[in-house]
Chain A
């Protein structure tokens, strides 16, 4: 059974940093692209980043230069390092497996940027 479990969310001050994680199981992790998608309170879905099997990552313009996605295939885990957080980064962050669409999602981790 495919499972994605996010962790590491919480409260950070604007300008601060936070690292969230997503632990995967039930599939060959190293063979799949993984992504982060976020949802601000009461809003729709926004793609944040994707990491390819070779470790290359691309980002939405809204987070480029501030966020960094990485993967550890030995731990079946992806990470999102979020720096220079802004109030509008406040959202639930979902980890998802990418395979013809996002076919599996985690339950999400809440990130709040507020003073």
Chain B
């Protein structure tokens, strides 16, 4: 099983700042099967990025994804109030599909 480790656990930033979230896999993820999700309290997760770097429908261009092999990142160029949430990475190239433990982006 591919284990995904996200860092940091919590990111405290102000609106307008840049957020960079990391996700490291225990072994290489078959390309390009990597995704990021956003989850707000009391809501279901929402797909943000798939295929490493492709924004899902309706996701603004301040969100970008990158990476390869074992190291991936999600960048939010300028945080808006609605971006404060928990973000999960996921690999869907190998079975079982696995998620990271989440990074909480909170208002500083």
Contacts and interface: CB of A to CB of B under 8 A. Distances in A.
A102 B47 contact: yes
A32 to B, nearest CB: 14
Contacts, number: 53
B96 A60 contact: yes
Interface in B78-96: 88, 90, 92, 95-96
Contact of A61 (B35, B54, B96, B100): B96
Contact of B35 (A60, A101, A104, A106): A101
- Chain B interface mostly helix, strand, loop or mixed? loop
A103 B57 CA distance: 9
Contact of B45 (A45, A50, A58): A45
Contacts of B44: 94, 105-108
B101 to A, nearest CB: 5
A37 B95 CA distance: 14
B97 interface: yes
B98 interface: yes
Contact of B102 (A44, A104, A107): A44
B47 A44 contact: no
A101 B46 contact: no
Query: Which of A37, A45, A106 has the largest number of chain B CB atoms within 10 A?
Result: A45
A47 B102 contact: no
B53 to A, nearest CB: 12
A45 B97 CA distance: 11
A105 B45 contact: yes
Given A44-B88, A103-B47, A103-B50, 6 more contacts: A45-B37, A94-B44, A102-B45, A105-B44, A105-B46, A106-B44
Interface of A: 37, 44-47, 50, 58, 60-61, 94, 98, 100-108
